[in-house]
Amino acid sequence: MNRQILHIDMNNCFASIEMKLRPELRGIPLVVSASHDGRHGIVLAKSEEAKIFNIKTAEPIWMAKKRCKDLKIVEPHYDEYKKHSIWAREIYYSYTNQVEPFSLDEAWLDITGSTKLFGTPLEIANTIRQRIKDELGITVSVGLSFNKIFAKLASDIARPDSVNEIRKDNFKQIVWPMKISNMMGIGQASVKKLNEAGIFSLGDIAKTKREELEKILGSHGEKIWDQVNGLDNSEVKDFHHLDPIKSISHGRTFIENLDSKEEIRYVFHRLAQKVSRRLIEENLEAMGVQISVKDKDLKQESFQKILDYSSFSSIVLRDTALDLFENYKWDKSIRFLELRAINLTKDSNVQTNFLADFKDEDKKSKLDKAIFNLQNNFGKDMVKLGYSPDLDERYGDEKFER
């Protein structure tokens, strides 16, 4: 039996919801950004009218305004975006329990078993599209295909408020002429390697021998070959599926770039607290720490370190992040920082590691656990692992791109 997979993508999600909430914004070029002064910040989302000016997601606001001097900057309302995402999924679940969110505004649906109840795959796709429009007041692009990869590709090339289908009998004509970068899972580094080998289109990949692709990209090359030849068999995960947590991270993009070690230390202090709380919630400890740093020109570098012992302590996470930051050659202001707990485990090895001063580490962990319990019982503002009131005031939430 041919599988019937939908990929649904809310068109210009954040911008569309803002226009729904404020109809006077319709028809004008606008972007969503937490830019308080209209200069700093990055583009989180853009309207169709803004796309005409070639404005791109994640580019700096000042650059977008150079392309469109009348660009409207709108503050984000994440609570509204989350509500609309939940409402959309409620509609999806009325057709199938196999719904796999890909992001706040995207999801796959396996409707193979739904056709006897709700009609043909195209009828189901169009019904969902129309319900989202009528009930949520926004539009979606729907891709329909026989696997997840092509369903996503079909929605990517679909017009707003439409359904696009890629079938087994026409995928070669539609997919193979496309650029390599059009397909999900092929990043810039892979594109560069493939281009250097004379491979420029998805059809070029399909016609290259699998073993050649493996030489170029390793095991990832074989996976890509299967995908472009229509052999992807990955399942749409159902409602009850939970992937094992491989890492826990928090990162922030800043409205004002960071220029001092004092600011860097403070931000890692705050990020470590957030990661520590998540680790405690999931009953996990980290055996490693990774940081990512992006400068004002959006050049990014990452560093990581394996710990001598597992820990969920925010102090351990922060201090390790700061040690890793010493490897960064800092010659430009910093735009983004991320702290990631990696190599997660449920089995603490602090007590069995005789090389570590585990008594000191145990104290640090107990402090975080005590703060976690107090915050859960009395609210997150009841108690915090402090840094200094002065730094809280100078470098608080207003410096973050939300």
Give the residue numbers annotated as catalytic, written as ranges: 106
Cross-strand bridge partners of residue 252: 337
CB 355 within 8 A of CB 308: yes
Task: Give the C-alpha separation, 250 to 340, whole Å.
Answer: 7
What crossing angle do the helices spanning 358-378 and 314-325 adopt, rounded to 10°? 120
List the strands of the sheet with 72-74, edge to edge.
45-46, 30-32, 72-74
Sole residue written with tokens 């959309």 = 88
Q: Is the dihedral of CA 385, 388, 392, 395 positive or negative?
A: negative
Q: Tokens for 375, please give them.
A: 């915050």
Query: If you search the block for the tokens 């369903």, which residue do you land on?
Result: 151
Whether the Cβ atoms of residue 302 and residue 291 lie closer than 8 Å to each other: yes
Map residue 310 onto helix, strand or coil.
strand
Q: Could you give the CA distance from residue 84 to residue 100 in angstroms, rounded to a whole number? A: 16
Instruction: Give the span between the Cα atoms of 341 and 299, in whole angstroms.
Output: 22
Helix (H) or strand (E) holding 376: helix 358-378
Quote the tokens at residue 165.
Answer: 């289908």
Contact 342, 290 (CB under 8 A): yes
CA angle 341, 343, 347 (to 5 degrees): 105
Beta strands, E only, 76-118: 99-103, 106-110
Rounded distance, CA 4 to CA 308, Å?
Answer: 48
